[in-house]
Amino acid sequence: MLRTFAPTRLLQRALKFTALTAAVLSLGSAALHAIEFRGDAPPPEQPLSLWYRQPADQWVEALPVGNGRLGAMVFGGVARERLQLNEDTLWAGGPYDPVSPEAAAALPEVRRLIFEGKFAEADRLISGKVMARPLRQMAYQTVGDMFLDFGEAGAVENYRRELDLDAAIARVSFTRNGVRFTREVFSSPVDQIIVVRLTADQPAQIGFTATLHTPQAASVAAAGGDSLVMSGVNSEYNDVKGALRFEARVRVLREGGFHYALGSSVTVQRADAVTLLIAAATSFRRFDDVSGDPTAATTAVLDAASKKSFADLRSAHVAEHQRLFRRVALDLGTTSAAAQPTDVRIRTFAGTADPALAALYFQYGRYLLISSSRPGTQPANLQGIWNDSMSPPWQSKYTININTQMNYWPAEPTNLAECVEPLVVMVEELAQTGARTARTMYDARGWMVHHNTDLWRATAPIDGPRWGMWPTGGAWLCLHLWDHYEYAPDRAFLTRIYPLLKGASEFFLDTLVVDPKHGYLVTNPSTSPENAHPFGSAICAGPTMDAQIIRDLFANTERAAGLLGVDDGLREQLRATSGRLPPNKVGAQGQLQEWIEDWDAQAPEQDHRHVSHLYGFFPSNQITLRGTPELAGGVRTTLEARGDFSTGWAIAWRLNLWARLQDGERTHRILAALLEPSRTYPNMFDAHPPFQIDGNFGGANAIAEMLLQSHAGEIELLPALPKAWPAGSVSGLRARGGYEIDLAWADGVLTRATVRSAQGGDVRLRLGKVTATRTVAPGGELVWDGR
Ligand code: FUC
């Protein structure tokens, strides 16, 4: 049944059920085949590995590979291998514009109600007239699964399943009846295919049946004797019709033995070794163009890859991965705990000295970014590119009131600047769709995005007033453009992003309104993302976060215009307008105020996961420990009130904030909470139950922030080093200004810092209270021991 998946159009509905049933049955396959696992396999030689002594049962135990576009979750079963497959443009729906035609007319009344303090009324009017139609955006969806059925039962010895982060290869190995079997899986950014290699240490041992399954409306058939083809269309979602065609192809290349295709399966028997090549593509070309040819795309990459040897495919993949991955090395020390399998280490981290697990988490974050966001791909979404569902949590899209930004926090500091390119392209596209929204909803110039977007670059407010009615998402993304410039100053890039910064600024120049009580220029309507104030709503005017984001946007636009020598009048206007934004204020409890009024202590959710107004302290630098100590004290008080323990990404934000507060012990304590099983799954995916990848990226960045910071006009070394990491070293971290840094420390004290710079410059270094200003020659380096 599972192997003869040959749908007709009439059968497609039934097949959705069949595929789901297959997925459910597959969970029980290990039990059905009653594999007995004997012997304890030793740890892999590569210490930067996640590894286990049993196959994955749940999806959050499987291991992710990806080339930015094509992803697979590798389960590593003995009787049945399962690869759950993704392609980063397989989303539901098609080009659409969800702006409500009634929004523009309703907004003046909404503003009036808000300024009169009638928040609940404003909320109702927004719900009725202003929210997007449909109210939700499109979902990112799974391609389906490839199964390899080996049909074996009995005992296996020394089973080990691992993900080698240094090579970006998932591996399974075990011994059965004296034969050692090895499987390798990788997703190649060079050849644009997923490669599976099956080998054994004796001839004629490889046999299996390969099948493809999917919950999508698709059919599967064997083709050309050695291939499987899945062809389908994407689904309709919330009344937006599916507009994409997609195809996945598997080609089976055998060495020795024989094979045959039957219906919708390919069977191999008695082979010495087998390479499977998997390609997938959709007809998506751009948010407004779905005229691609998935058949041509998948055939072309398979034909090209089939001509290469496995060794060549593998070495090209490894070299391209290592070009990025090996730029940073981190050693926080190694204890005996590091010899345990990864799932055991996660279970015991809180009570054990295992600094190498923190280093592994850091490098895993870098691995995941390289694997989910490369030039030419979509940006990493809420699950990177890994999703087994048709209706994933929050549609696995781009939530830009924290989550997408957090995904990219580690990109610059951990030396993966190329991975930001998909985000830059997304902002360029949002500047187009968001210009339409600025015009039709707000009668404004420039462009804007509310709190979410999807593959189709939708920009209208979704979900409900509390979530969607927030105009500052696009402006926050602009900080990443500026950061990219600051980490590697380059005039061509500045020229590219300037129109984006300028357009984002123009939107606010046109839509900020005077708050009648204080005279500030404020956003209205808005929210402090997702947090309700004491008056029955989250809807308000001029939340602190908006002022902070717009202050950064205006300042960076003004700086860019100055560097490019353009738009003098605009610069003047940005400066003047910035001065009229609501200032950061310390409230009665000593906290940084979340709203213009001091409502914080009465807000219904005192431990709310979002800490939006702390944006000014991290990721921004408007508030700093030495520059604005009173406001930094407000940040600390707010953090104490919110509590350290929250859901995955929210913990990761707190971690970065405590690292900026330079409290190494507190930061490390919270890191232990991030790394415990309730927030880190066995495959080290971050739990925001079920799974959201931002916590992985935020956590990785926090570890970098503990070692190096460069936001206050100086490069600060080991600002939040915890006692748990007394000796160690890091190389290849990046700092603002275009610097690359290596550090080594012993007994908790810096022993050596090396600073390199391609373009050279005067650099101010800080170690605790000691500072030094030194000159680095272009292409040169300097060494400092902190004295
Ligand atoms: C924000 C968060 C939620 C979730 C969603 C994707 O809205 O408040 O917790 O992470 O994004």
Q: 70 forms bridges with which residues in the sheet?
A: 87
**241-283 pLDDT, tens digit each:** 999 999 999 999 999 999 999 999 999 999 999 999 999 999 9
pLDDT at 153 (0 to 100): 72
Produce one character per residue of 366-399: b if its CB has 16 or more CB atoms within 10 Å, e if not: bbbbbbbbbeebbbbbbbbbbbbbbebebbbbbb
Residue 496: enclosing H or E segment and its boundaries?
A: helix 491-511
CB 766 within 8 A of CB 717: yes
Q: How far is CA 431 from CA 290, 477, 498, 548, in A?
A: 20, 11, 12, 21
Q: Supply the pTM of this predicted model.
A: 0.95
Q: Is 383 in the pocket of ligand 1 (CB under 6 A)?
A: no
pLDDT at 345 (0 to 100): 98
Q: Is 399 in the pocket of ligand 1 (CB under 6 A)?
A: yes
CB 182 within 8 A of CB 114: no
3-state secondary structure of 335: coil
Q: Two tokens at 485? A: 């410039």
**Phi/psi at 399 (5° precision):** -95, 115
Task: List CB contacts of 704: < 8 A, sequence separation 6 or more.
Answer: 362, 410, 413, 414, 733
SS3 content of the chain, % helix, strand, coil (to 5): 35, 25, 40
Q: How far is the CA of 239 from the centre of ligand 1 (A)?
A: 24
Q: What is the separation of C-alpha 170 from the centre of its chain, rounded to a whole number of angstroms?
A: 20
Q: Is 692 in the pocket of ligand 1 (CB under 6 A)?
A: yes
Q: What is the separation of C-alpha 363 from the centre of its chain, rounded to a whole number of angstroms?
A: 14
CB 212 within 8 A of CB 248: yes
Q: What is the separation of C-alpha 762 from the centre of its chain, rounded to a whole number of angstroms?
A: 34
Q: Is 531 in the pocket of ligand 1 (CB under 6 A)?
A: no
Q: How far is the CA of 75 from the centre of ligand 1 (A)?
A: 28
Q: How far is CA 100 from CA 97, 131, 456, in A?
A: 9, 6, 17
Produce one character per residue of 595-621: b if its CB has 16 or more CB atoms within 10 Å, e if not: bbbebbeebeeeebbbbbbbbbbbbbb
Q: How far is the CA of 760 from the centre of ligand 1 (A)?
A: 41
Q: How far is CA 471 from CA 431, 508, 511, 696, in A?
A: 14, 9, 10, 27
Q: Is 608 in the pocket of ligand 1 (CB under 6 A)?
A: no
The DSSP-derived string for 723-759 is: TT--SEEEEEEEETTTEEEEEEEETTEEEEEEEEESS
Cα separation of 528 and 580, whole Å? 19
Q: Is 394 in the pocket of ligand 1 (CB under 6 A)?
A: yes
The residue among 436, 373, 437, 362 whose CA lies nearest residue 702 is 362
CB 548 within 8 A of CB 584: yes
Q: Is 314 in the pocket of ligand 1 (CB under 6 A)?
A: no
Produce one character per residue of 184-213: b if its CB has 16 or more CB atoms within 10 Å, e if not: bbbbbbbbbbbbbbbbbeeeebbbbbbbbb
**494-545 pLDDT, tens digit each:** 999 999 999 999 999 999 999 999 999 999 999 999 999 999 999 999 999 9
In this structure, the number of other CB atoms found within 10 A of the CB of residue 9 comes to 8
Q: How far is CA 310 from CA 166, 254, 371, in A?
A: 19, 11, 20
CB 420 within 8 A of CB 734: no
Cα separation of 151 and 78, whole Å? 9
Pocket test for ligand 1, best of 381, 400, 402 (most atoms within 8 A of CB): 402
Q: How far is CA 474 from CA 189, 405, 552, 677, in A?
A: 29, 11, 12, 34
Q: Which residues of the chain have pLDDT under 70?
A: 1-33
The residue among 190, 710, 748 whose CA lies nearest residue 488 is 710
Beta strands 761-767 and 715-717 are parallel
Q: Two tokens at 438? A: 């600025």
Atom of ligand 1 lying closest to residue 694 CA: 10
Q: How far is the CA of 641 from the centre of ligand 1 (A)?
A: 20
Angle (CA) 193-198-200 rounded to 5° is: 160
Cα separation of 704 and 719, whole Å? 10
Q: How far is the CA of 537 from the centre of ligand 1 (A)?
A: 18
Pocket test for ligand 1, best of 136, 140, 399 (most atoms within 8 A of CB): 399
Cα separation of 212 and 82, whole Å? 10
The residue nearest atom 10 of ligand 1, judged by CA position, is 403
Produce one character per residue of 272-297: b if its CB has 16 or more CB atoms within 10 Å, e if not: bbbbbbbbbbbbbebbeebebebeeb
The residue among 199, 206, 79, 72 whose CA lies nearest residue 146 is 72
Atom of ligand 1 lying closest to residue 610 CA: 8
The one-letter amino acid code at 671 reads: L
CB 628 within 8 A of CB 617: no
Cα separation of 528 and 339, whole Å? 45
pLDDT at 152 (0 to 100): 72
Pocket test for ligand 1, best of 688, 691, 696 (most atoms within 8 A of CB): 688
Q: What is the DSSP letter of 417?
A: G
Number of helices (H) and strands (E), helices first, in the chain? Answer: 19, 32
Cα separation of 399 and 381, whole Å? 8
Q: Is 403 in the pocket of ligand 1 (CB under 6 A)?
A: yes
Residue 510: enclosing H or E segment and its boundaries?
A: helix 491-511
Atom of ligand 1 lying closest to residue 394 CA: 6
End-to-end, the C-alpha distance of the chain in Å comes to: 72
3-state secondary structure of 525: coil
Produce one character per residue of 708-744: b if its CB has 16 or more CB atoms within 10 Å, e if not: bbbbbebbbbbbbbbebbeebbbbebbbbbbbbbbbb
